[in-house]
Amino acid sequence: MTAMPKPRTIHDFGRSLPAALFECQYPVPGDPELAAQVADLLSSYHATLDQSWGLDHGTWAVLSKAWPAADIPVLQISLDAGMPNSERIELGRKLIPLRDEGVLLAGSGNIVHNLGEMQWDENAAPHAWATRFNDRIKNIVADGDEIGLCNYEAMGEDARLAVADPDHFWALMYLIGASDDDAVTFHTDFIQYKSLSMTSLVFAS
């Protein structure tokens, strides 16, 4: 996880995206002390403190809209691509004590994320498979069905198309683990450009 006092803004996406995105900077402070605390909570996962990476677009693209003043400390935790989905939920549970200290745990991604099936038209109706998968995952989350979430690939072709980039989907699993069985509410529930789900959810007691 990032552990530097001033994490840099990283533009980790292709040059095909709008030039204005490469000009974005999000100069939030880091929090080395909190990073050390998180590393201790995740010691069984061999968590390490990083001083070189910074905040990539999965972090700043979301937080810059929610906190444009860039005045809150931010840490970013990396994803382990080889981790079983059930372990992602267990890792999230390790982070529950942070919530009691007023730390906001946020995961960014998309339930449906398939850039190859996008259409640059804000008025375009979503693909039928995108709507089906998005609705099914929402029901799984609302029901607290951790097994169903981990086994999302069993949903067949809808899952294959919707989760074309699994790193965008994994974030949800960590949050399920960290939810501590709190009630979930859904916000901004729509699919944009036919294949990008903008559904967001909040767990709160």
User: Domain residue spans in the chain?
Assistant: 1-78, 110-205
Task: State the DSSP H helix or E strand holding residue 192, giving kind and residue range, or none if neither.
Answer: strand 191-192
Q: Which amino acid is at 142?
A: A
Look up residue 186 and give its DSSP letter.
E
Strands of 92-165 (E only): list them.
none
**Which residues of the chain are under the pLDDT cut of 70?**
none
Alpha-carbon dihedral of residues 11, 26, 28, 41, nearest 10 degrees?
Answer: -40
How does pLDDT run across 116-174, given as a tens digit for each residue? 999 989 899 999 999 999 999 999 999 999 999 999 999 999 999 999 989 999 999 99
- 110-205 has which CATH code? 3.40.830.10
Question: What pTM was computed for the model?
Answer: 0.91
Position 181 scores a pLDDT of 87
Q: What is the pLDDT of residue 17?
A: 74
Amino acid found at 107: G
The residues pairing with 191 across neighbouring beta strands, listed in sequence order, are 197
Kindly provide the residue ranges of all beta strands, DSSP E only, lying in the chain, ordered along the sequence: 183-187, 191-192, 196-197, 200-204
- Report the C-alpha gap between 152 and 150 in whole angstroms: 6
Residue 21: what pLDDT?
84
3-state secondary structure of 36: helix
Cβ proximity of 198 and 192 under 8 Å: yes
